[in-house]
Amino acid sequence: MKSWIINTKVNALLGAGSQEFDGVKVRRILIEYCGRYQEIYPFEILEEPLDFLKSNVNSDGKYREMRALLRVAAEEYCISLNEIADALLDLIDTSALTTDQAKKIINHVFEAFSCNESPEDFLPREDAYLCKKLFAITSS
């Protein structure tokens, strides 16, 4: 997979803000960010797992069921679905992210966008969107 994040402002922000990095808050933002992608390019199989991740309900049975759904989605033929499912698998398995995990998840979402839009169209827009969201939690 291409490194979409390497020359972005969000990459620099995550690197520079690592002292104030709150992995729990960043996880919540990235769950919302995957939801943003889902709103633009919806996949029915991701609706329940995203709802589960947004709800913050800790249920082992539901976790296993949602993780299984995400595994199926990650192995489908559609690359953009694979990438979002991989991002959600990372999010479902981790309660607090490291900067490297956050970058990996963002890269998965950028890869998914690249399946539907040209980099010139999505990279500046998505980079600005994430910078705004992440700056709000690193500057407070």
Is the residue at 3 inside a domain? no
Amino acid residing at 24 = V
The total of structural domains in the chain comes to 1
Check if the beta carbon of residue 50 is closer than 8 Å to that of residue 38: yes
DSSP state, 12? H
Tens of pLDDT, residue by residue over 56-114, are 777 788 999 999 999 999 998 899 999 999 999 999 999 999 999 999 999 999 999 99
**In-domain check, residue 108:** yes
In this structure, the number of other CB atoms found within 10 A of the CB of residue 137 comes to 16
Could you give phi then psi for residue 115, rounded to 5 degrees?
-75, -20
30 within a domain of the structure (yes/no) = yes
Task: Tell me which residue range forms the domain holding 23.
Answer: 9-138
Domain membership of residue 114 (yes or no) is yes
In a domain, 95, yes or no: yes
Within a domain: 61:
yes
The gap from C-alpha 129 to its chain's centroid, in whole angstroms, comes to: 13
In a domain, 1, yes or no: no
Model-level pTM greater than 0.85?
yes
